Amino acid sequence: MDSKTAATQLEQLKQFTKVVADTGDFSSMKAYKPQDATTNPSLIFKAVQMEEYAPLLKKAIEETKDLGLSGEARVKTIVDHLLVLFGSEILQIVPGRVSTEVDARLSFDTEATIAKAREIIKLYEDRGISRDRILIKIASTWEGIKAAEVVTKEGIHCNMTLLFSMAQAIACAEAHAQLISPFVGRIMDWYKAKTGETYSGENDPGVLSVQKIYTYYKKFGYKTEVMGASFRNTDEIVELAGCDLLTISPNLLKELAESDAPVERKLSPEASAKADIDKISIDEKTFRWMLNEDAMATEKLADGIRLFAADINKLEAIIAKSL
């Protein structure tokens, strides 16, 4: 077997795409050497229940002790410190950036999202970490996108999450967001539940959605990066080889690292430039109508916000107990 065919799928993928670790677990990041890492409330909630991360929670509690806060305000502040402590540790492992999420319960509050993004960045900068290494994750609601537009002008880079539709993707690009995270697996889940069908990589509706968004961005020269997220299997990942970034869970990183099946580039700016597509003009009315007309995107956005909000509530309950 020559050295070319002996390369693992993960090694091959890294030639076309920046690989990002979708986890709060440090040992997985060390094992698979991703460029960046993403976290979310669900991942942090899982991690904080593991014994090895208890010192981080203890440190977050300690750091907020003398801020004169009590009750709910203290718990919320501890959450912010905890997220930033996780992010700071991750940045000692990955060479690139870490994504830290704004509280999902603020998804329909532009001003509160702006304030929270600034608070998180300040906590990182107080630790000597440059804002260039941080992506603030914000839900891709109209209110979230408007908040991203404001903080982007301040040099705060945003990762627009819970993205399921072209309407959201175009609005994020028009707001000059740094990066979007279209949720491949959750799109597929919805179609599978509705139709009862099983989808393979190339006809997977989540894969097709990201291909369409990537093509649109490259065709019309948008600088916003596309990072496929929420994968259910390695077929979905391989079909998106060439996407700017892909954020992948440790179990799927392991599968890619253990396979040497060939990976071909599927997406490229050159091919996208030749696509025969029209540019869509987005304002708030168009955004809301397009989203309303897309039952999958409407349901999955609402569902995703509810799930992340529930995990933030659970995380706060753990912290309140620790106090």
Q: Residue 32 contacts by C-beta under 8 Å, 6 or more apart in sequence?
A: 10, 19, 21, 250, 253, 254, 257
Question: Residue 66: its pLDDT value, please?
Answer: 92
**pLDDT tens track for 240-269:** 999 999 999 999 999 999 999 999 999 999
> Residue 135: beta bridge partners?
99
Q: Nearest-CA neighbor of 39 among 77, 95, 89?
A: 89
pLDDT (tens digit per residue) in 207-237 = 999 999 999 999 999 999 999 999 999 999 9
Catalytic residue annotation: 137
User: pLDDT per residue over 154-213, tens digit each?
Assistant: 999 999 999 999 999 999 999 999 999 999 999 999 999 999 999 988 899 999 999 999
Supply the mean pLDDT for the chain: 95
Name the pairing type of β-strands 134-139 and 36-38. unpaired
Per-residue buried b or exposed e for 296-307, using 16+ beta carbons within 10 Å of the residue's own CB: bbeebbeebbeb
pLDDT, tens digit, 9 for 90 and up, residues 265-296? 999 999 999 999 999 999 999 999 999 999 99
Contacts (Cβ under 8 Å, ≥6 apart) of 140: 160, 161, 162, 163, 168, 171, 172, 180, 301
d(CA 320, CA 323) in angstroms, rounded, equals 5
- Write out the two tokens for 149: 């537009």
The CATH H-level (homologous superfamily) assignment of domain 11-322 is: Aldolase class I (3.20.20.70)
User: Is-above-0.85 flag for pTM?
Assistant: yes
* 4 has a pLDDT exceeding 80: no
Q: Scan for tokens 């993004």, then name that residue.
A: 117
Do 100 and 125 touch, CB atoms closer than 8 A?
no
The predicted model gives 106-121 an average pLDDT of 98
